[in-house]
Amino acid sequence: MTLTSTSIRVRRARTSDVAAIQALVDPLVQRRILLGKDAVVFYESVQEFRVAETDDGTLVGCGALHVMWRDLAEVRTLAVADEWLHAGIGHALLSRLEDDARELGLSRLFCLTFEVEFFSKHGFVDMGDETVDPEVYAELVRSHDEGVAEFLDLARVKPNTLGNTRMLKHL
């Protein structure tokens, strides 16, 4: 499929989209590309999600923007249905999430990904050993959010990570 043959719309997710979001994410969880989440987590964070849908309302992609700090957010759960890969869906979703980040006044985006080539094409770079100021670190380390722990590269998340790359983009 291509975007030229079918119209795709990226919009804010609704609670009624959660089952379809889970259906998009589950195959990636099974292939150990994304970490699994309980339905309650999707409902709790539905306001962070954007979805890509076809003219007939079929969800073909999703992605979330999770604010971590005053200038920093994580791009999470970016997923595209297999039959829609390489059709521009991921690009459209990421562009919308970046627009949302700018609207919120954020200047940095983080992601933890296996899709290094995709994110590199969109201006993300491997974080390496990059860290945050000690004062910000002291605040972030208090968070119970696993994404924040992954951003900080805390030892407690290392057994849970799947070998992905920590990447950052300056907006």
Residue type, position 102, single letter: R
Measured distance CA(155)–CA(158) in Å, rounded: 5
> Considering the domain boundaries, does residue 2 fall inside one?
no
Considering the domain boundaries, does residue 133 fall inside one? yes
What does the pLDDT read at residue 54? 96
For 115-163, what is each residue's pLDDT tens digit? 999 999 999 999 877 666 767 767 777 777 777 777 777 665 554 455 6
Is residue 3 assigned to a domain? Answer: no
**Is the pTM here over 0.75, yes or no?**
yes
Residue 160's pLDDT is 46
Considering its fold, how many domains does the chain have in total?
Answer: 1
Let me know if residue 127 belongs to a domain.
yes
Going edge to edge, which strands form the sheet with 49-54? 8-12, 49-54, 59-69, 72-80, 108-113, 165-170, 125-126
CATH of the domain at 28: 3.40.630.30
- Domain residues for the domain of 153 are 8-170
Residue 1 lies in a domain: no
Q: Is residue 118 part of a domain?
A: yes
Mean local confidence (pLDDT), 101-118: 94
| 55 part of a folded domain | yes
Whether residue 69 lies inside any domain: the answer is yes
pLDDT in tens, 9-61: 999 999 999 999 999 999 999 998 888 899 999 999 999 999 999 999 999 99
